[in-house]
């Protein structure tokens, strides 16, 4: 959370395959959004894996998320 700008970055949500389609993911998202609002934050950004961008991004749109800026995530392993 970035307190000065009231922004939250939501990076991870994983539901084990055997629990998918049970409402667990929806409950986690709804509760997370509720807590974010209660804490006074005004904006939440999520990161979606590029491999599954259409499936998960479409799912998040059901909760009011919109596809936004084109961003490039860069990373590397430390060895």
Q: What is the pLDDT of residues 23-77, one digit of tens each?
A: 999 999 999 999 999 998 888 888 787 777 678 888 889 999 888 766 667 777 7
Could you tell me if 6 and 43 are in contact, meaning their C-beta atoms sit under 8 angstroms apart? yes
Q: Which two tokens stand for residue 7?
A: 């922004």
Q: Taking the domains of the chain in order of start, what are their residue ranges?
A: 1-79
Would you give the DSSP letter of residue 18?
A: G
Whether the pTM exceeds 0.85: the reply is: no
Report pLDDT for 18: 95
In CATH, what number does 1-79 get? Answer: 3.40.630.30
């Amino acid at each position: 959370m970035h307190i000065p700008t009231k922004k939250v970055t939501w990076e991870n949500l994983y539901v084990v395959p055997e629990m998918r389609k049970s409402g667990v993911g929806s409950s986690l998202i709804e509760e997370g959004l509720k807590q974010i609002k209660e804490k006074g934050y005004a904006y939440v950004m999520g990161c979606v894996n590029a491999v599954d961008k259409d499936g998960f991004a479409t799912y998040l749109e059901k909760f009011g998320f919109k596809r936004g800026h084109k961003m490039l995530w860069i990373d590397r392993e430390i060895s």
